[in-house]
Chains A and B, each alone.
Chain A
Amino acid sequence: AEAAGAAMGGSGSLLPREALSEYQELTFLSKQEILLAYKRFSELLPKEERENACSARLPKSCILTLPELRANPFQHQICRVFSTSDNMDGSMSFEDFLDMLSVFSDAATLDIKSHYAFRIFDFDEDGALDRKDLEKLVNCLTGDGEGSQLSTAEMEQLIQNILEESDIDKDGTINLSEFQHIVSRSPDF
């Protein structure tokens, strides 16, 4: 861990070795990636809290300054899904941060990615993607520009098509299994 700390340069505090190997076992990340994540995370913390970065919590506004999340239209959802804070403010600890990186990494299985994608797309957190969720999803995907929002008729038609195709038990919503079924058919995920 000392060699890793020296290699990181002036990252300040070091990650203890047992914690490192534990994180390696519990996530899909490699040692290099965990150390890099630690460095990025502690850079975002204010100076006083950098010593015990493992137990500090970053407020949501700081997380959203990360370049990977800054432009992402699903940024708020991602923070909400991965945060484990009790007061629902979207703040993330280092372990939440590692969880997020692990799910998005290349080594993660399709199952876990689709599980979390479902939670990200589920805007009202009711365990199923109903019409409103799908509407919000399409609006996120097409952005807020002037020409790119769909008209109500187009939206209706699109959501109708989607539900026809993916709703196997015809209850008007897409639940987790149906979502995973579609995703497993499409190798582009």
Chain B
Amino acid sequence: IWIFHGFYAEEKLVGNLASMSTSERIKAIQKMPRTMKQKREIRNKVLKEITEESRHHSSQLLCCPQCLQRTVVSFRRFGNSLSECFHLLQLTHKTLKIIGASFGTSVLSYFIFLKWLLAFNIFSFVINFSFITVPQFVAAEPNNLTFTGLELFTGAGYFQETVLYYGFYSNATISKTENGPSYNMQLAYIFTVVIYFVICFFILLFSMAKSFCRNFINPQMFSGTASKLLCVWDFNITNEKAVKLKQKNISMQIKEDLAEVNQEVLNFSATERVVRIIIHLVCWVASLGTAIAACAGVYFLSINNLKVFVKEHKNDFKSQAAMLVLPIVASLLNAFIPFFYSWLGHLERFQTPGYQIYVTITRNTILKISIIGILCYYWLNIVAASESQCWETLVGQDIYRLVLVDFIFCLLGSFFGEFLRRIIGTTICVNLGLPEFDIGRNVLDLIYAQTLTWIGILFSPLLPGIQIISFSIVFYVKKVSLMMNCQPPRKVWRTAQMATSFMLLLFFPSFLGVLSVIGVTIWRLKPSEECGPFRGLSSMYDVVSEWIKILENYTASKWVVWIYYNLITSEFFFFILSVIALIITYLYWQITEGRKTVTKFLKKQIIN
């Protein structure tokens, strides 16, 4: 069934298509919902019309349009073959298709997120490596320490005198030859880090805004049954068992939805409602209490660690192993407390399962944020003011160990959580069944690892490289574990909304927190006296102020000095920027409200 195009309408269509440019025409023909035969007929008619027109103009312009057309055609063919080459490079494309086919789009969104983070880390590594590490190789000092295998785990020892940590970088102006081009290491270090974070900020902002725009156009329609029903069938699924499972899930979900709509869950009496509220409160207090206890434990352990490390500078096996205790404890807390939270979630009875998932994720996020927060407090306030020789390297080593242990625990978690659970579920305790792939937990683990990397970039510039290796291995292991051990998820998540919430979680707590930590480090903390590119200064930011003072003496760069004094350091400028941003936001909000009213009005008109 299609709308019948009268003869006149078809003539008009052909005329429209003939007047478009070639690429637009191709796209327009592709978009037509007709069979191949009809599209071919229309295309031939259009081409005939074009050649007739060009024959008209041929007397005036001779062979030029033909040459132009030929070059355009060959250019387009080149573009096509280039995009096909790109397709070949997409090694993971096929893997992602297979995952989407067997498990649905929600699990697929985890792997897409992981791939995006991997690409992001490659970009970070390239920037930091080329601007900070490569020049340092030119002016590297020889390394006198010996390499034992233990350094891979503890990050100390041999690695202390390598480019891995901040302490190794020199504060000199490096130049290969006398009077040759020189490279100011101090300025390079601070500018690379700051500009990298500014670029990250904009990338995250635009990705978040794009997915927000796509997925939250009209939140009213979201709770609609119609949209859920008509759009729920995932045509991606090809496995027969998965199809039957999906059908069962859909029917269960429809029945649940209908039951909710028919009788409100809040049919409870007053006492039952009060009891439920009390249960909610108790669970929240329990979860916050656990988070606070975990933080306190981590804090006292790290203070102890610092005493051990600074006072007794032994390099033997026992003290090196003692350095690993803190990261292991932090990862254990991160691995086991979420089980407690999901148990609490089962205890409380929520109105919808979606609400339960969001509450559990919120609690896990609070736990992870508080652990990272307490560690940052410890690093910035206690380690920085301690008597150690090179506190930045100490912090870098701590972060290295945390990242490494977190990676190991991720692999172990996959092994125990999925592989052993499957064996238990199929042989010993058969009514448990196969495990499901816990998307929320895995995504939070990824965001945790990425936050640690971001914090560590200032203190250990090669950390993104380590994270690249770690993420690639995690991708492979998770994929294999998923295929071997898991079943498709039972609850039907709103996948598009999920992808947006991942981005939101990445941006708000994670990135902004990192920005504040880096800001405090650069502005307020005193770099160590004897190591690193900023030795001897009273804060890392002094490099920039001193540089500006030097620039004042050159007339050619007076505009840089002017920008610095009047825009970057003046509070008035930022105040005006914020006021303008608020005004624009308010105007857009009012425009949206106005459009909503117009939509309502138009709908009423359609009915009448």
Contacts and interface: CB of A to CB of B under 8 A. Distances in A.
Contacts of B26: 25
Contacts of B222: 186
A142 B227 contact: no
A166 B606 CA distance: 13
Interface of A: 22-28, 30-32, 67-68, 70-74, 84, 95-96, 98-99, 102, 104, 109, 111-112, 115-117, 119, 121-122, 125-127, 137-138, 141-143, 145, 147-150, 154, 157-158, 161-162, 165-166, 168-170, 179, 182-183, 185-189
A26 B31 contact: no
Interface stretch (B244-252, B348-356, B474-482): B244-252
B103 to A, nearest CB: 15
Interface stretch (B49-57, B196-204, B228-236, B285-293): B228-236
B251 A96 contact: no
B31 A162 contact: no
A151 B84 CA distance: 51
Nearest to A112: B33
Nearest to B245: A143
Contacts of B258: 154, 157-158
A179 B230 contact: yes
B243 A71 contact: yes
Contact count band on B: 35 or more
A127 B84 contact: no
Contact of B221 (A148, A162, A182): A182
Interface stretch (B36-44, B405-413, B464-472): B36-44
B583 to A, nearest CB: 30
Interface stretch (B210-218, B267-275, B376-384, B445-453): B210-218
B247 A122 contact: no
A81 to B, nearest CB: 10
Interchain residue pairs A-B with the least CB separation, the first 5: A143-B247, A142-B251, A148-B251, A71-B240, A95-B36
Contacts of A168: 603, 606-607
Given A116-B33, A142-B250, A188 B1 contact: no
B36 A126 contact: no
A162 B225 contact: yes
27 contacts: A25-B29, A25-B43, A30-B83, A30-B87, A31-B80, A67-B238, A71-B240, A72-B235, A84-B35, A98-B36, A99-B36, A102-B30, A116-B33, A125-B1, A138-B254, A141-B229, A142-B251, A154-B254, A154-B258, A157-B261, A158-B258, A161-B226, A165-B221, A168-B603, A182-B221, A182-B227, A189-B231
